[in-house]
A and B are shown apart, each in its own frame.
Chain A
Amino acid sequence: DVKVTQSSRYLVKRTGEKVFLECVQDMDHENMFWYRQDPGLGLRLIYFSYDVKMKEKGDIPEGYSVSREKKERFSLILESASTNQTSMYLCASSPPGTFLETQYFGPGTRLLVL
């Protein structure tokens, strides 16, 4: 069965802290994505990666960075957390060269920055 897991379901951090959100998929997918979901704004793409050590900026990359050292793991890093980064963060993965119905999402991490 398809599985995308995220390291934490809920996280509380302080302003200025460095925050790591981890995502792991067990489907051997090449493509991985990080989104954030905010009320009234829907899903917005932060970063994506189509291969190990490759990354591409999405629509809202400011204040974030990513790391893809292994195929199964895609990390989102908040270099210095700010209150406007309080959000639900969703990771997704998909195999290459297929239609997008195969983009599988993790359960999400709800991050609160105080």
Chain B
Amino acid sequence: DQQVKQNSPSLSVQEGRISILNCDYTNSMFDYFLWYKKYPAEGPTFLISISSIKDKNEDGRFTVFLNKSAKHLSLHIVPSQPGDSAVYFCAATALDRGSTLGRLYFGRGTQLTVWP
């Protein structure tokens, strides 16, 4: 059963506008969330993360918002650029205080296309 869901397989946005990518999760134990970006023929690269003790984290043009009560997070990209065109994966984990291994649960990804 998919514990992390990205219900929009694709999103198309004009350059300069805001891109909003959404992610929902079902496991209430998840307390750390990440976004990865993937270009074709490359491995995913880490983009931004947020801990459940926060509701917002910002890094340049990228902001992640977390709504714990709704089990929902979103990634905002402002302004969007053509180079942002990629697949974006949402991921979540439950930080086990006694464990040295972190296992990520990924969503299915959203293909973002930013057109000029």
Contact = CB atoms under 8 A, between A and B. Distances in A.
Interface of A: 4, 9, 30-31, 35, 40-45, 48, 50, 56, 58, 90, 92, 94, 96-108, 110
Interface in B43-85: 43-46, 49
Contacts of B6: 42
Task: Give the interface SS of chain B, mostly helix, strand, loop or mixed.
Answer: loop
Given A90-B44, A101-B46, A50 B100 contact: yes
Interface residues of B, number: 24
A48 B109 CA distance: 21
Contacts of A107: 41-43
B5 to A, nearest CB: 10
B17 interface: no
Closest 3 CB pairs of A and B: A105-B43, A42-B108, A96-B100
Given A100-B32, A100-B93, A105 B104 contact: no
- Name the residue in B9, B41, B95, B100 with the highest tally of chain A Cβ atoms < 10 Å from its Cβ: B100
Given A43-B44, A107-B41, A107-B42, A100 B109 contact: no
A108 B34 CA distance: 20
A100 B100 contact: no
